[in-house]
Structure formats: C-alpha cells, structure tokens
Chain A
Amino acid sequence: MGRGCLILFGAVWILFSCIFLFGPLGILLAGSKPNWMTVLPSALFSLPFIAVGLAIIAYAVLPWISAMRVSKPAITVSSASLSLGDSFTIAYSQMFKSRTEVKGVKFSLLQRETVVYQSGDSVATAHHDETAAEFEYPGQRYEAGDSLVFSRNMEIPRDWMHSFRSTHNSVTWLLQAKVNIAGWPDYREDFEIQVLPSLAR
C-alpha cells in the first residue's frame, strides 16, 4: 500500500471512529448542555480508534518528515553485473538540508524474499529480509550543505541465491541505508542491485 493510500485509509478510519463524537459535538454546537454521563463513555470509546488512525497517518508521513532534513542519497556500485561471491565497492553520498545531529548510519546488504498470495478476497504481500552483511558509520553533527560521503567494500556471499523474479515470488538484493537522526524519524533508503545466476571465479 502506498503512502497516499495509507493516509487516505487513516483519514477514513478516523472519520468513522469519530462517529461517537458527532452526537456530543452537535449538542455543544447547538448550545445545549449535554448529559455527560451518557455522552462521555461513547466519546472515550472512540479515542483508541482515533489513535490508531493517527498512528497510521504518522507512519505514512514519517519518511516525508525525515526527508525534510536530508536529501536523497546517491549510491553507486562499482559493478553493474555482480555474481555470487563477487566483491564490490559502494560509494555513498548524501547532503543535509539543515543542521542535523546524526547518531549513526547503518548500512546493510539484504536478500529480500517477497511473496504475493491470495488471502480471502484480497491479495496480500509478505517480505522476509536476511542480512548478508552490514556495517555502521559513526555519527556526527552536520551543518546545512554538509555531505555524508563514504565508500566501502562489500561482498555478495557465495552460498546465497541470485536475484529472481516471477509473478508471485521474488528474491531481490538490496543495499539499505538507515540514517539515525537525533530527535527525528530515521531516514531509510533502499537501493536494489542485480545478482546474476553465476559464481565468482
């Protein structure tokens, strides 16, 4: 589900959750004094549902919030065609839009299984990630216009699966960067790489 759909879903969820608030609200707007012993329980009942709707919207907009501080990173890989067992170099560059305290950057090489399946009347998707390698880049303070730049050697493990894609099942390889920003949502970026069905010599 895309972010826009999540926001819409959250908004509709909140609207329906507010149904128990409409009665007291109408009474208040009409200038009458509501009977709180009747109105309060139904209003309280709706609060957890409203909180769920707000959480859904917050989850959807978090990436946009974190992107207000940092630009989209430029990630380049030394080779476009990688085999299992190949070593490669990644170059990472990301600019900060305002003063930012970065606690750390976690960089992971992931193999992701994605499956699509029929669940009742709807179609569901599930992911499973396995971390093949990871490293952390130390945190520091960045001023507006500063860039986080580093390069690193990594290796595709020889005994894993190559990239594979069919209608309902896929195996993909991702480079995932997670920038941990103090007092701000994490910034996350996934970058897919193709791993060929061959072994490095």
Chain B
Amino acid sequence: MTSVDFQWNVLGGESADGGTRFDPGSTLEGTVILTPQTDLNCSGVKIRLEWHTEGRGDRDRKTAGEIVAFRGVLPGGQLVVLPFRFTLPSQPWSYSGFYINILWELVADVDLPLAINPKSRYPILLRPQGAYISQALNPEDRSG
C-alpha cells in the first residue's frame, strides 16, 4: 500500500472543545505538507473543505470548496508543501445532537491511478464565537 505522511498547518482559529473553531464566513488557510515514501505519479492532490453528518440517519455529505493543489510526480522522501485557502460558508454549523452530528473537515486526497488514494483529514469546528459547541474531536484524527 502506498504511504504518504501528512502534516497540517492551519492558521488562525480559536481553541475550543479540543478542536479549532472558525467563524462562519471567515478565511481558512494554511498548508499541508506531504512526504511520500516513494515517487508517486499522481493525477492530482486535491484539498477539500467539506462537512458530513454522522449518527442514526444515512450520511449526508457536501463539499464546500475544493482546490487541486498539485499535479505530477510527488518525489519520494521529500517534503511537498501545498498551501490552501478557503472562505468558510455561513452554515451548517458544527453540531452534536441526539441523532445527528455535523462534522466539518479539511481533506487532502492524493489521487493515484488504479490505487487506493492516500488521504488525511483535519477536523475543524464551524461556529461563531459565543455559540455552544459540543462536537467531540479526536486529536488522533489530525494525523494522516
């Protein structure tokens, strides 16, 4: 299986409930650093901003933004720094309810032909300051 190390560096935000909170409508920017173990000829490295639901209901998912941050050969053993910048939408806010959880995340997706795409997710909280946040975030989720 193809292995890529991911390291997220997300700017701004505010520490809340074990995660990082961002205001709706604000700018979310930073870099994701990829370190492939071997040379990888990829169709593209996509960075997405998306939300999905978890809980009893069937899953809903929506991509709020997507950029193709890289195309070509990722050199093995070398760091590839990919910047990203998104404007966060006004809704839905991060939410933890009885049946429904709404989770926001950044996703880095290395698109490899005829192989399983290496991916990494970085959870964020989308909610204005002063609003209640009960969404649980697992720090382990931040690693690739």
Contacts and interface: CB of A to CB of B under 8 A. Distances in A.
Interface of A: 84, 113, 115-118, 126, 128, 130, 158-162, 164, 166-169, 171, 197-199
B12 interface: no
B113 interface: no
Contacts of A167: 58, 60
A84 B91 CA distance: 13
Nearest to B60: A166
Contact of B97 (A118, A161, A198, A199): A161
Nearest to B126: A197
Given A117-B58, A167-B60, A197-B92, A128 B98 contact: yes
Contacts of A160: 132
A160 B132 CA distance: 7
A197 B24 contact: yes
B130 A115 contact: no
A186 B95 CA distance: 34
A115 B92 contact: no
Contacts, number: 71
Interface in B71-128: 90-93, 95, 97-100, 102, 128
B93 A161 contact: yes
Nearest to B93: A197
Interface stretch (B2-10, B33-41, B49-57): B49-57
A162 B100 CA distance: 13
Given A128-B97, A158-B130, A166-B60, 7 more contacts: A84-B131, A115-B55, A115-B99, A158-B131, A158-B132, A167-B60, A197-B90
Interface of B: 24, 53, 55-60, 62, 90-93, 95, 97-100, 102, 128, 130-132
A199 B53 contact: no
Contacts of B102: 164
B98 A113 contact: yes
A169 B131 contact: no
28 contacts: A113-B97, A113-B98, A113-B99, A115-B57, A115-B58, A115-B100, A117-B56, A118-B58, A126-B99, A158-B131, A159-B132, A160-B132, A161-B95, A162-B92, A162-B93, A164-B95, A166-B62, A167-B58, A168-B53, A168-B57, A168-B58, A169-B55, A169-B99, A169-B100, A197-B91, A198-B128, A199-B130, A199-B131
Give the residue among A126, A128, A159, A161 with the most B Cβ atoms within 10 A.
A161
Nearest to A125: B57
A7 B80 CA distance: 65
Contacts of B95: 161, 164, 171
A113 B56 CA distance: 11
B56 to A, nearest CB: 5
A159 B93 CA distance: 12
A116 to B, nearest CB: 6
Contacts of A199: 128, 130-131
A161 to B, nearest CB: 5
